[in-house]
Chain A
Amino acid sequence: MAKIRKLHQQLIAKDRTAVELTQDYLDRIAALEPQVHAFLRVNGEAALAQARQVDAQIAAGEPIGPLAGIPLALKDNLCTQGIRTTCGSRMLADFVPAYESTVTQKLKAAGAVFLGKTNMDEFAMGSSTETSAFGPTANPWSLDRVPGGSSGGSAAAVAAAECVAALGSDTGGSIRQPASFCGIVGLKPTYGLVSRFGLVAFASSLDQIGPLTNSVEDAALVLGAIAGHDPRDGTSIPEPVPDYTQALVPDLKGMRIGIIQETLGTGLDPQVAQAMETVWRQLQDLGAEVLELSCPRFRYGLPTYYILAPAEASANLARYDGVKYGLRDQTCTNLMDMYQRTRAEGFGAEVKRRIMLGTYTLSAGYYDAYYLKAQKVRTLIKEDFHQAFAQVDALVCPTAPTTAFPAGSKSADPLSMYLSDLMTIPANLAGLPALSLPCGFDDQGLPIGLQVIGNVLREDLVFRVAYAYEQATPWHQRPSPLS
């Protein structure tokens, strides 16, 4: 049984109170954080106060929803009113938002308990959580490995059982790749399904918020709570939100699933490739028709992304000018000096690199060669997916080319770090829902992730494939050494 539903039943059966449950997680956080460092901030008092409210509701005999009293963690790029939101950056080290993001408002209304804010790559730019200005996070499966990124704090917190589930954000794989590295479930929903109001912007044509959880059912429950139209996000889709748990059927009879041929070639860790071969057989055993499909432009996703995302970021991060909030250099004597020094002090090396890259590709004379070219290739990548989904209900491929890599091993060479997002980026470019779930372990005992990609707004089919696979395999039952 999935974790959230089990805890919910314990709460309504009065086997334990929400306060006890919250305290258990706070105790685990206190014990494990010296090793893991998944959290930037823990708000124990506020969490216990939220839990007390839920206990009062239960005591009064009022019905509670499935997320009421469930302890969650939030990536630190989600604005929380009155609670510091740093984005892993010195620029926002003391920033206290005056407003609450839509997703956290919805979860609060559902009675969820917020334990704290999780570590992340600075401004969500990175694949290892090593670019955080506040120190790295360790992978609970092996403390000398990275947890992935940029939502590495959220993934590590779930894998170490420091929270029941967490929210992250995914611009090029920042939910799915850490979920893969930490052996948990992570979903990037369809672009526009979840409101980004209150999410600190990175690349607005790509950013989405989604859940990191222990199980597919938990992901379906959390998504159901945060999805839906929001007039405060102009890209939000005005569609009703279905009950995603209805899609959780333990077989794949009548389904057609495509394996993306181009993801199985060179550069793939042989142990990940082997796991994928087993996946193929397992999906067939579950009743699916499995075929190999070509998405010939899939591999161009990465270079396309490294034009579009830094370009959008260079514009989005122009707001950090030292005037209205965030850091300001206090030694400056004129305005230009203030901008330049504030940004030099506030941003770390990776953020500067991407701002520079984006400013360069958008600058006079280069726009057509880079930005416009990338937008056109984006169209071709969408076409590949369009053709694929004319033949199949869902696509599968590895989430990442490797398992979690050693801390520090890719920090000196930005391009080698970028390559770990090769498999996740195309779904962002095309706006498609994509989920990572565990599909095996390498010989070091590190988790391998399987990515399931669906067509626009077909989260139901993604959940069905993931759920059937999860129920038929033992991978999700193996706890991390720290959990």
Chain B
Amino acid sequence: MLDREQVRKVALLARLQITPEEEAKLALDLGNILDYIRQLNELDTQAVPPTNRALETVNVSRPDQLSICDQREAILQAGPAVEGDFFRVPKIL
């Protein structure tokens, strides 16, 4: 089981506001899942290279060509708070 302090720290890193009830449940659930995951330590992986993705693709590139995106209005419309050509956010400074 994780302690409540650890859960609060991770929630802050994940930018999630959690209630005291969620905190208790997460401490228990994450603890159980991590206990289950620890069975991987049965395997010796000292000399094993890691796999990043199922099939490795390396240095995928394409010509650096200009293309037009004509979705400006639609993209702005999807914003939860828009003013002119900007996305509004609460005061930062």
Which residues of A does B touch, CB under 8 Å? 95-99, 190-192, 204-206, 231, 234-235, 237, 297, 300, 303-304, 306-307, 314, 318, 321-328, 332-341, 343-344, 347, 349, 352-353, 355-357, 359-360, 363, 370, 372-380, 382, 414-415, 418, 428-432, 456
Q: Are B7 and A356 in contact (CB under 8 A)?
A: yes
Question: How far, in whole Å, are A92 and B93 apart by their CA atoms in the complex?
Answer: 29
How many residues does chain B have at the interface if contact means C-beta atoms less than 8 Å apart?
A: 51
Using known A-B contacts A98-B75, A303-B40, A339-B15, determine if residue A429 contacts B54 with beta carbons closer than 8 Å.
yes
Most buried by A among B6, B38, B62, B80: B80
CB-CB under 8 A from B92, the residues of chain A are 334-335
Question: Nearest CB to that of B12 among chain A residues?
Answer: A340
CB-CB under 8 A from B37, the residues of chain A are 303, 306-307, 370
CB-CB under 8 A from B68, the residues of chain A are none
Q: Are B54 and A428 in contact (CB under 8 A)?
A: yes
Query: Chain A interface secondary structure, helix, strand, loop or mixed?
Result: helix
Question: Nearest CB to that of B53 among chain A residues?
Answer: A205
Question: How far, in whole Å, are A328 and B11 apart by their CA atoms in the complex?
Answer: 18
Question: How far, in whole Å, are A195 and B44 apart by their CA atoms in the complex?
Answer: 35
B8 to chain A, nearest CB (A): 11
Q: Are B14 and A356 in contact (CB under 8 A)?
A: yes
Question: Nearest CB to that of A364 among chain B residues?
Answer: B13
B79 to chain A, nearest CB (A): 6
Using known A-B contacts A304-B40, A322-B80, A323-B89, determine if residue A205 contacts B52 with beta carbons closer than 8 Å.
yes
CB-CB under 8 A from B60, the residues of chain A are 234-235
Q: Counting CB contacts under 8 A, is B10 at the interface?
A: yes
Question: Nearest CB to that of B81 among chain A residues?
Answer: A328
From B10, B40, B80, B81, A377 is in contact (CB under 8 Å) with B40
Q: Are B33 and A357 in contact (CB under 8 A)?
A: yes
Using known A-B contacts A360-B30, A414-B33, determine if residue A325 contacts B79 with beta carbons closer than 8 Å.
yes
CB-CB under 8 A from A377, the residues of chain B are 40, 43, 45, 48
Question: Nearest CB to that of A354 among chain B residues?
Answer: B33
Q: Are A353 and B16 in contact (CB under 8 A)?
A: no
A478 to chain B, nearest CB (A): 34
From A304, A323, A340, A360, B10 is in contact (CB under 8 Å) with A360
Question: How far, in whole Å, are A334 and B17 apart by their CA atoms in the complex?
Answer: 14
Q: Counting CB contacts under 8 A, is B29 at the interface?
A: yes
| A–B pairs, 16, beta carbons within 8 Å | A98-B78, A192-B54, A234-B57, A303-B36, A324-B75, A327-B80, A328-B81, A352-B22, A353-B29, A353-B30, A355-B16, A357-B30, A377-B43, A377-B48, A415-B33, A431-B54
Using known A-B contacts A234-B60, A303-B37, A373-B40, determine if residue A98 contacts B74 with beta carbons closer than 8 Å.
yes
Q: Counting CB contacts under 8 A, is B55 at the interface?
A: yes
Question: Nearest CB to that of A352 among chain B residues?
Answer: B16
Q: Are B78 and A306 in contact (CB under 8 A)?
A: no
B61 to chain A, nearest CB (A): 9
Question: How far, in whole Å, are A353 and B18 apart by their CA atoms in the complex?
Answer: 11
> B51-83: which have CB < 8 Å to A?
51-55, 57, 60, 62, 71, 74-75, 77-81
CB-CB under 8 A from A191, the residues of chain B are 53-55
From B40, B55, B78, A374 is in contact (CB under 8 Å) with B40
Q: Counting CB contacts under 8 A, is B20 at the interface?
A: no
A191 to chain B, nearest CB (A): 4
Q: Counting CB contacts under 8 A, is B84 at the interface?
A: no
Leading 10 A-B pairs by shortest Cβ distance: A431-B54, A375-B50, A98-B74, A328-B80, A376-B45, A191-B54, A205-B53, A340-B17, A325-B78, A344-B17
